[in-house]
């Protein structure tokens, strides 16, 4: 009877946490769609081209934005990339620097400010570097933003309804999608337990970053919590921490697969994200970068 009651409480907490995570994402999605809809209605190509034509500075701006401790920015970046408003390098920079709940976890554990800034600095450096490399090596033609095409693919019949109705429609659809996946992932983490992660060899120089990056790829804010907490508790070395955090594109990855119809392109982006995170984590260990 007691076990049954505990399971019911756990399920209740899972549902509440999943709803909370999804609702926190909603304002970012709504804001992004309102901006895109407004620019499309105004036909203000100059404004959108300022984002589109950020050029070699795109990854720098993307890395700075990604450092802000909100997973919603990665979701916004995915939408902008699907609309071809930012380059793949800028998208990659935002994914790499996004840390979701890392900062609150570090602060709550009284980690020194200098250590926190060093972690953020490394993430910024790696994000900018990988982003610039992607833009320099991946040749892809970009077009001006076509929100109408996104509306047609979503079958939302946006025309003639102003900007609020289509923006709400898009934001709600993505939020519900994120909620469904988040609910499943939270259930797995709850019933399998984080103790399972402690038994994995995170402290090995090469294997650690490889496995940590796999955890980071989980499209959920809980991934950054698990990775950061494992490092705080001494179960993970610094290179593995960096690898796990860099791979943590959070719900941005979910949104990318939802809004970008080119599945092969999405897989390539996630592959680059994972490989980059692993290499940077191993490099951190190889260069003996410590705190």
Distance between CA 225 and CA 246 in Å, rounded?
Answer: 13
Distance between CA 145 and CA 33 in Å, rounded?
Answer: 12
* Per-residue model confidence (pLDDT) at position 121: 93
pLDDT tens-place string over residues 223-234: 777 788 778 877
Percent of the chain with pLDDT over 70: 71
User: Closest Cα to residue 254, out of 66, 64, 25, 8?
Assistant: 25
Q: Which residue has the higher pLDDT, 55 or 216?
A: 216
Query: CB-based contacts of 240: which residues, under 8 Å, 6+ apart?
Result: 202, 203, 208, 209, 211, 212, 227, 231, 281
Count how many residues are written for the chain: 291
Residue 102 tokens read as: 């890392």
Residue 8 has pLDDT above 70, yes or no: yes
Average pLDDT of the segment spanning 171-181? 76
Q: What is the pTM of this model?
A: 0.70
Residue 161 has pLDDT above 50, yes or no: yes
Burial 152-166 (b: 16+ CB within 10 A, else e): eebebebeeeebeeb
Q: Which residue has the higher pLDDT, 42 or 34?
A: 34
Q: Which residue has the higher pLDDT, 116 or 190?
A: 116
Residue 47 has pLDDT above 50, yes or no: no
Residue with tokens 């804001």: 31
* Per-residue model confidence (pLDDT) at position 156: 45
């Amino acid at each position: 009877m007691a076990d049954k009651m505990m399971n019911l409480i756990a399920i209740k907490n899972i549902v509440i946490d999943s709803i909370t995570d999804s609702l926190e994402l909603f304002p970012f999605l709504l804001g992004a769609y309102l901006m895109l809809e407004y620019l499309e209605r105004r036909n203000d190509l100059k404004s959108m081209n300022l984002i589109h034509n950020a050029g070699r500075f795109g990854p720098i701006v993307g890395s700075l934005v990604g450092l802000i401790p909100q997973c919603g920015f990665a979701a916004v970046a995915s939408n902008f990339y699907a609309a071809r408003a930012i380059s793949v390098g800028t998208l990659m920079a935002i994914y790499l620097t996004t840390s979701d709940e890392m900062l609150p976890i570090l602060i709550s554990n009284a980690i020194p400010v200098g250590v926190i800034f060093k972690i953020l600095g490394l993430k910024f450096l790696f994000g900018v570097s990988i982003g610039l490399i992607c833009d320099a090596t991946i040749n892809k033609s970009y077009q001006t933003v076509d929100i109408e095409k996104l509306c047609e693919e979503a079958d939302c019949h946006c025309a003639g309804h102003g900007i609020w109705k289509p923006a709400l429609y898009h934001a709600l659809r993505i939020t519900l999608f994120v909620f469904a996946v988040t609910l499943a992932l939270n259930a797995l983490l709850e019933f399998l337990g984080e103790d399972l992660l402690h038994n994995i060899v995170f402290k090995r120089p090469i294997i650690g970053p490889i496995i940590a990056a796999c955890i980071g790829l989980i499209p959920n804010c809980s991934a950054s919590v698990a990775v950061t907490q494992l490092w705080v508790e001494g179960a993970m070395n610094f290179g593995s921490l960096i690898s796990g955090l860099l791979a943590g594109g959070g719900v941005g990855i979910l949104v990318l697969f939802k809004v970008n119809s080119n599945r092969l392109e999405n897989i390539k982006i996630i592959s680059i994200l994972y490989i980059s995170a692993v290499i940077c984590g191993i490099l951190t260990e190889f260069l003996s970068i410590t705190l």
